[in-house]
């Protein structure tokens, strides 16, 4: 027993080195250059057909980058499987030839997750876009990775059910692979995953279970480094009888956050609560032709029955008034509510419009909510001192907030200042028991911060898991760890 444990521990200690060795052993040169790819392309064609494989330069470029500022790293080839069997067959070919596999949803990630750092094969999951099993009475549905939230909710229309995850990206694909937010995680139950060697597994059969480790949780947010997710069973919710949205402005960040804490403490089942700082609301006013006061603001949404809502709303109003909030501006009808939330969803574009021709980079630190006012105040000071444009929008209920950094990518000094700013911001969050990423994931840019956040021992455990599932380090190499 003790011996076995010792061996196991030794195993955990040596595995990370194995990963490092593997990583450096993968030749940095493109696989296409070495000719090995040509040998496999016909094997790919046999699986997915001629129109399921592309070596075209423009197509590869398009699949080598996401919405982030990371530079494009095109894969050597792009494939479009249509089923889990095809994903598995393609993975087996890659495994045999030691070709990296990079899963691709819609390329709207924000951390450079789809770049082919070591060349290899991009698996675009766009053609796998079916809604497979809807179990209305069990409140769940199984979907393929190409199904978007919008498409899913269109499919669910008339069933009285919906998938509620509020999504800010207009094009974002499937939630499971990329959505790292804890708020996204809890909506997934069972996953079908293809591992690096082509093995197909299911992570959890039953919604309530005590059977073994929670593999669903392991694969959600693994950013393509552990396997290709080919199906997910998602939890659904009843469409609420009534919805009300509201906007309220505050004299200070502290007052807005205090209101949020008091609303949560009062047990009000608030559906959405979003914070916008003065710079952000000003940008939204301009971009979406609105006229909210330019001060810290909360956007709120309540879901429930008509009677339940009345109560929720009146308690919330009392709380915000107690924190010197303005009168609520209410939106009950669908049109006004849609206009309000569209303004919030367009925040990214509103920020970009502040400086035409510039690019944006969104930070996403998250801290315990009690530390939120402090970190936002310090961060705003940092932005001003360093002459940076960074409107702030946050999911305050979770302690998560974004600085939408608008920068001129051709100004090296500004790029450097933004880089240093984001590192200071992440370290500020870590010092307050927070995380460097609440939603967007680690990708390329936050690997060093992940190490600082978790420490070497937890990192070794993660590397051990990676080595156990993907011993040849083929799944999206160069990311996360
Ligand atoms: C305007 C805008 C607003 C956003 N707002 C939010 C927000 O509010 N909350 C939030 O959490 N995020 C937000 N994001 C970021 C978010 O992470 C992405 O938009 C989205 O989740 C990425 O999905 P995708 O399919 O395009 O992923 P991609 O960019 O295609 O891929 C992202 C990562 O997931 C991996 N991956 C993709 N598909 C699979 C698969 N089937 N199996 C295994 N791995 C896979 C890729 O290899 C890559 O590492 C926003 C982005 C934008 C541009
Ligand atoms: C496993 O993790 C997923 C994702 O976080 C979650 O939805 C599921 O409920 C968990 N399963 C159990 C049995 O706790």
Ligand 2 pocket, Cβ-based, cut-off 6 angstroms: 185-186, 188-189, 204, 209, 214, 216-217, 220
CA of 145 from ligand 1 middle (Å) equals 11
- The answer to whether 117 touches 160, Cβ cutoff 8 Å, is no
Helices and strands in the chain: count of H runs, count of E runs: 16, 18
Instruction: Note the pLDDT tens digit of each residue in 253-293.
Output: 999 999 999 999 999 988 889 999 999 999 999 999 999 99
H or E element that contains 259 = helix 253-265
Ligand 1 pocket, Cβ-based, cut-off 6 angstroms: 66-67, 102-110, 113-114, 125, 145, 168-169, 172-174, 177-179, 181, 223-224, 228-229, 348, 439-440, 476, 479
Which pLDDT value is given to residue 15? 33
CA of 182 from ligand 1 middle (Å) equals 14
Report d(CA 128, CA 146) in Å as an integer: 5
CA of 213 from ligand 2 middle (Å) equals 10
CA of 1 from ligand 1 middle (Å) equals 43
Q: Whose CA is nearest to atom 15 of ligand 1?
A: 109
**pLDDT average, residue stretch 147-158:** 89
Report d(CA 274, CA 290) in Å as an integer: 17
Q: What percent of the chain has pLDDT over 70?
A: 88
The strand order across the sheet containing 140-143 reads 131-135, 140-143, 228-235, 188-194, 200-202
Residue 307 DSSP code: H
CA of 471 from ligand 1 middle (Å) equals 25
Instruction: Give the ligand at the shortest distance from the Cα of 177.
Output: 1
Instruction: Give the ligand at the shortest distance from the Cα of 186.
Output: 2
- The answer to whether 392 touches 403, Cβ cutoff 8 Å, is yes
- The answer to whether 163 touches 234, Cβ cutoff 8 Å, is yes
Which pLDDT value is given to residue 205? 80
Report d(CA 163, CA 345) in Å as an integer: 17
Which pLDDT value is given to residue 185? 66
Q: Whose CA is nearest to atom 2 of ligand 2?
A: 217
Whether residue 342 has pLDDT greater than 80:
yes
CA of 109 from ligand 1 middle (Å) equals 4
Dig out the tokens for 262 from the structure.
Answer: 């008091």
CA of 88 from ligand 2 middle (Å) equals 25
Q: How confident is the model at residue 331 (pLDDT cuts 50, 70, 90)?
A: confident
Higher-pLDDT residue of 204, 81: 81
The predicted model scores a pTM of: 0.89
Residue identified by tokens 């990630």 is 109
**pLDDT average, residue stretch 155-176:** 64
Which pLDDT value is given to residue 207? 80
Instruction: Give the ligand at the shortest distance from the Cα of 206.
Output: 2
**Which segments of 384-443 are extended strands (E)?**
392-395, 400-407
Instruction: Give the ligand at the shortest distance from the Cα of 104.
Output: 1
Label residue 75 left, alpha or beta by phi (over 0 means left) and psi (-120 to 50 means alpha): beta
Closest-CA residue to 168 (of 255, 261, 67, 241): 67
Q: To test ligand 2's pocket by mutation, which of 216, 234, 237 has the most ligand atoms within 8 angstroms of CB? A: 216
Mean residue pLDDT across the chain? 87
Whether residue 243 has pLDDT greater than 60:
yes
Q: How confident is the model at residue 427 (pLDDT cuts 50, 70, 90)?
A: very high
**pLDDT average, residue stretch 9-25:** 34
Which pLDDT value is given to residue 17? 33
Q: How confident is the model at residue 35 (pLDDT cuts 50, 70, 90)?
A: low
Q: Whose CA is nearest to atom 3 of ligand 2?
A: 217
Strand partners, 194: 200, 228
Please report the sign of the dihedral spanned by the C-alpha atoms of residue 173, residue 174, residue 175, residue 180.
negative
**pLDDT average, residue stretch 416-444:** 96
CA of 110 from ligand 1 middle (Å) equals 7
Report d(CA 378, CA 355) in Å as an integer: 24
Q: Which atom of ligand 2 is nearest to the CA of 235?
A: 7
Q: Whose CA is nearest to atom 13 of ligand 2?
A: 209
Q: Which atom of ligand 1 is nearest to the CA of 229?
A: 42
Label residue 23 left, alpha or beta by phi (over 0 means left) and psi (-120 to 50 means alpha): alpha
Instruction: Note the pLDDT tens digit of each residue in 91-106.
Output: 999 999 999 999 999 9
């Amino acid at each position: 027993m003790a011996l076995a444990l010792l061996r196991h521990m030794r195993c955990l200690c040596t595995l990370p080195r194995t990963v490092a060795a593997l990583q450096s052993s993968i030749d940095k040169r493109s696989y296409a250059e070495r000719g090995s790819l040509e040998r496999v392309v016909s094997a790919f064609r046999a699986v997915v057909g001629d129109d399921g494989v592309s070596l075209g330069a423009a197509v590869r470029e398009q699949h080598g980058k996401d919405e982030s500022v990371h530079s494009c790293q095109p894969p050597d080839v792009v494939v479009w499987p249509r089923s889990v069997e095809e994903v598995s067959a393609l993975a087996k070919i890659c495994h045999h030839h030691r070709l990296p596999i990079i899963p691709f949803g819609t390329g709207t990630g924000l951390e450079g997750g789809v770049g082919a750092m070591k060349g290899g094969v991009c698996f675009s999951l766009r053609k796998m876009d079916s809604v497979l099993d809807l179990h209305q009475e069990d409140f769940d549905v199984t979907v393929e990775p190409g199904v978007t939230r919008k498409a899913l909710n269109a499919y669910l229309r008339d069933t009285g059910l919906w998938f509620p995850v509020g999504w800010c990206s207009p094009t974002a694909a499937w939630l499971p692979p990329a959505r790292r937010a804890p708020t996204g995680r809890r909506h997934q139950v069972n996953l079908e995953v293809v591992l690096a060697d082509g093995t197909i597994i299911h992570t959890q059969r039953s919604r309530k279970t005590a059977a073994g480790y929670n593999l669903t949780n392991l694969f959600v947010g693994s950013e393509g480094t552990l396997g290709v997710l080919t199906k997910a069973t998602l939890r659904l919710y009843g469409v609420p009888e009534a919805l009300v949205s509201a906007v309220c402005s505050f004299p200070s960040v502290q007052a807005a956050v205090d209101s949020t804490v008091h609303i949560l403490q009062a047990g009000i089942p608030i559906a959405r609560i979003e914070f916008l700082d003065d710079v952000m609301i000003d940008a939204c006013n301009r971009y979406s032709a609105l006229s909210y006061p330019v001060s810290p603001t909360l956007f709120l949404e309540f879901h429930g029955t008509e009677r339940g809502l009345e109560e929720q709303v009146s308690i919330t109003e009392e709380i915000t008034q107690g924190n010197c909030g303005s009168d609520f501006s209410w939106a009950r009808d669908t049109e006004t509510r849609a206009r309000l939330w569209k303004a919030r969803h367009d925040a990214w574009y509103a920020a970009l419009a502040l400086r035409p021709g510039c690019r944006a980079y969104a930070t996403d630190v998250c801290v315990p909510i009690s530390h939120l006012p402090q970190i936002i105040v310090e961060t705003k000071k940092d932005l001003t001192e360093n002459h940076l444009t960074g409107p702030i929008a946050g999911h305050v209920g979770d302690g998560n907030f974004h600085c939408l950094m608008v920068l001129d990518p051709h100004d090296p000094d500004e790029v450097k200042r933004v880089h240093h700013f984001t590192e200071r911001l992440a370290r500020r969050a870590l010092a307050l028991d927070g995380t460097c990423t609440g939603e967007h994931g680690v990708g390329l840019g936050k690997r060093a911060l992940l190490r600082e956040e978790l420490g070497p021992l937890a990192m070794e455990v993660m590397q051990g898991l990676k080595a156990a599932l993907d011993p040849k380090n083929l799944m999206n190499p160069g990311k996360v760890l």
